[in-house]
């Protein structure tokens, strides 16, 4: 990899992040050799927020995904390196045209209550995922399934979905177009196979402790609001003898400074996310424990285009022009993040991101253009644009909000900053109760569509901006129907270019996963999707 003199890599990430990534790999290799399983070990994971739900088909944040991966498996699952591997399916074959997949389930699969897990559960799960009544955030990703879009939009019945079960141990999946990334999709949390018998019996309460039955390495033992989620070993898991932990405790650490303090005190074995203000100290004092990894993660501002003032593209572009992204990454965050002028990060494979057309324009020229656009839209000294800026409760996000508000002030925009707890913030985004909202989007598979689909008008649960462009939707549909990878990438590029011109979102920076991992933890592996299933982790004395 070639580095620029600025200290940024060719992919937009700093030398520090890549150096620590390499150093962490060496340290982990040494730790693996010293691992000793503890029969009654409990892993304590600082997990940012209390989950809003533990229903795999209704979650929409990475901190909920972490728990789901410990409770449920799909036909495929993610390994410690974030790569798809056999999950509930032991093997599969692909038809010559790439449109058909036949999966063989592992023999003698059981749910945590001892009930048999069969292909009927698989068909039930996919139909529930695509049922419009479920309102699954990630359902549009599965439009690649035969009749996926039609089923999810209510235009076709559930039984027409391209997922069938010819016998109890076999599942057949038909696609509408070849999708080389299908194995990554099927490993995602939203493709978890769910217990048909428990959901039919208990309805919406099926996710409660004492009621939920699961299929992965752990079962739900306790879930108390603001206190956390406790999981315990699942003896019916197909790989149960290889699981080294007795329990996993997910502790909400919305106050990341407090989370770092608890990690230092030994109360937490892992902490997801650390404040930018502590990075320098942590890198110096805890160089092995501090893990910074380039991630498939974009932070952006969602602009509620359903509101009259933000329905005006000139206003949206002016707000974007006024933001100096380099100040955010180099002065505020300082953890190796890259300034974002596209929605799709540069580390996405086989894709050329579509950058905003002013990426190389000098700051003063951008500010002049922003003021002109606001004036055209009817705003000025006598009538300043007033914006409510929403974010979740977090010191770093507060600092970012203050800096952006200052940047907007230079063009005459008055911003009111509003913060709420994470669960409330994301609920407001989904329900449209915001004007401008801060969002971080982590892709759970390495493909441009994992970012771009959330701006499709049918992505009602994740398209926070309420962006609606028939041309954009048509481009995504065309891309999904094309088998040639290069041609597909160009169409996705055109779609992203259209969205960047319309600016329903304002990309801010490409993220770096920031984890603290105790030297007692063995098996943790850095990966771009920041997935770390507890089944692969253990503790040493």
Contact 69, 189 (CB under 8 A): yes
Which ranges of 379-525 does DSSP label H, i.e. alpha helix? 395-409, 422-431, 449-452, 470-480, 485-502
The model's pLDDT over 438-496, given as tens digits with 9 standing for 90+, comes to: 999 988 788 999 899 899 998 877 899 999 999 999 999 898 888 788 999 999 999 99
Q: How far apart are CA 189 and CA 422, in angstroms?
A: 20
In a domain, 29, yes or no: no
Do 480 and 364 share a structural domain?
yes
Domain limits for position 384: 294-512
Please say whether the dihedral angle defined by the alpha carbons of residues 420, 425, 431 and 433, taken in this order, is positive or negative.
positive
Q: Across-strand partners of 236?
A: none
Contact 301, 436 (CB under 8 A): yes
Structure tokens at 141: 């990703």
* pLDDT of the chain, 541 residues: tens digit per residue: 222 222 333 344 444 444 344 344 334 333 433 343 444 789 999 998 889 899 999 988 888 999 999 999 999 999 999 999 999 999 999 999 889 999 999 999 999 999 999 999 999 999 999 999 999 988 988 999 999 999 999 999 999 999 999 999 999 999 998 887 899 999 999 999 999 999 999 999 999 999 999 999 999 999 998 889 999 999 999 999 999 999 999 999 988 899 999 999 999 999 988 988 898 899 999 999 999 998 899 999 999 999 999 999 999 999 999 999 999 999 999 888 999 999 999 999 889 999 999 999 999 999 999 999 999 999 999 999 999 999 998 888 999 999 999 999 999 999 999 999 888 998 999 999 999 999 999 887 889 998 998 999 988 778 999 999 999 999 998 988 887 889 999 999 999 999 999 999 999 999 999 999 999 999 999 998 899 999 999 999 7
In a domain, 217, yes or no: no
The pTM of this model reads 0.81
Strands (DSSP E) along 335-448, which ranges? 338-339, 385-392, 413-420, 436-442
Do 186 and 306 share a structural domain?
no
In a domain, 330, yes or no: yes
In a domain, 468, yes or no: yes
Please say whether the dihedral angle defined by the alpha carbons of residues 238, 242, 248 and 253, taken in this order, is positive or negative.
negative
Furthest-apart CA pair in the chain: how many Å? 73
Burial class (CB in 10 A: 0-12, 13-18, 19+), 266: exposed
Do 305 and 178 share a structural domain?
no
Structure tokens at 288: 């092995």
Kindly calculate the radius of gyration of the chain based on its CA atoms and give it in whole angstroms. Answer: 23
Q: Across-strand partners of 85?
A: 77
Q: How far apart are CA 530 and CA 47, in angstroms?
A: 12
Establish how many alpha carbons lie within 13 A of residue 72's alpha carbon, considering only the half-sphere containing its beta carbon: 27
Q: How far apart are CA 326 and CA 530, in angstroms?
A: 24
Contact 188, 74 (CB under 8 A): yes
Counted domains in the chain: 2
CATH number at residue 160: 3.90.76.10
Q: Classify residue 484 by its DSSP letter.
A: -
In a domain, 333, yes or no: yes
CATH number at residue 330: 3.10.105.10
Residue located via tokens 């008055």? 414
Do 305 and 187 share a structural domain?
no
């Amino acid at each position: 990899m070639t580095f620029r003199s600025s200290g940024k890599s060719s992919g937009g990430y700093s030398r520090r992040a890549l150096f620590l990534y390499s150093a962490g790999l060496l340290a982990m290799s040494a730790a693996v050799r010293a691992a000793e399983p503890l029969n009654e070990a409990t892993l304590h994971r600082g997990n940012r927020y209390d989950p809003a739900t533990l229903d795999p088909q209704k979650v929409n944040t990475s901190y909920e995904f972490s728990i789901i991966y410990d409770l449920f498996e799909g036909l495929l699952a993610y390994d410690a390196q974030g790569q798809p591997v056999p999950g509930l399916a032991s093997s599969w074959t692909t038809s010559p045209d790439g449109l058909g997949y036949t999966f063989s389930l592992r023999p003698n699969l059981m749910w945590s209550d001892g009930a048999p897990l069969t292909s009927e559960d698989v068909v039930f799960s996919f139909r529930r995922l695509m049922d419009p009544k479920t309102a699954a955030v990630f359902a549009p990703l599965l439009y690649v399934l035969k009749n996926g879009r039609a089923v999810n939009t209510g235009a076709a019945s559930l039984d027409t979905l391209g997922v069938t079960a010819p016998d109890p141990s076999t599942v057949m999946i038909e696609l509408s177009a070849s999708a080389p990334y299908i194995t990554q999709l099927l490993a995602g949390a939203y493709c978890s196979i769910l217990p048909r018998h428990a959901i039919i019996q208990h309805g919406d309460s099926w996710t409660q402790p004492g009621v939920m039955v699961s299929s992965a390495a752990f079962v739900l033992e306790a879930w108390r609001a603001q206190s956390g989620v406790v999981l315990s070993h699942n003896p019916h898991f197909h790989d149960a003898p290889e699981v080294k932990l007795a329990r996993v405790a997910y502790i909400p650490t919305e106050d990341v400074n407090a989370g770092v303090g608890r990690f230092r005190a030994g109360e937490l074995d892992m902490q997801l996310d650390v404040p930018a203000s502590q990075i320098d100290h942590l890198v110096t004092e805890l160089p092995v424990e501090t893990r910074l990894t380039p991630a498939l993660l974009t932070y952006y501002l969602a602009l509620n285009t359903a509101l009259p003032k933000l329905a005006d593209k000139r206003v949206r572009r002016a707000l974007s022009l006024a933001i100096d992204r380099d100040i955010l990454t180099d002065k505020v965050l300082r953890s190796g993040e890259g300034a974002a002028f596209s929605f799709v990060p540069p580390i996405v494979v086989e894709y050329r991101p579509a950058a905003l057309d002013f990426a190389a324009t000098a700051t003063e020229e951008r500010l002049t253009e922003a003021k002109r656009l606001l004036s055209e839209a009817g705003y000025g000294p006598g009538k300043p644009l007033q914006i409510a800026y929403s974010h979740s409760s977090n010191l770093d996000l507060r600092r970012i909000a203050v800096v952006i508000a200052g940047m907007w002030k230079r063009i005459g925009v008055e911003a009111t900053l509003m913060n709420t707890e994470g669960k409330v913030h994301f609920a407001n985004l989904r329900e449209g109760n915001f004007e401008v909202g801060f969002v971080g989007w982590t892709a759970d598979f390495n493909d441009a569509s994992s970012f771009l689909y959330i701006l499709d008008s049918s992505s009602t649960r994740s398209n926070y901006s309420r962006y609606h462009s028939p041309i954009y939707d048509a481009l995504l549909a065309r891309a999904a129907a094309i088998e040639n990878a290069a041609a597909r990438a160009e169409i996705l590029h055109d779609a992203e270019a259209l969205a960047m011109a319309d600016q329903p979102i304002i990309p801010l920076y490409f993220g770096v996963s920031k984890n603290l991992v105790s030297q007692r933890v063995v098996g943790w592996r850095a990966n771009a999707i920041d997935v770390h299933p507890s089944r692969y982790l253990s503790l040493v004395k």
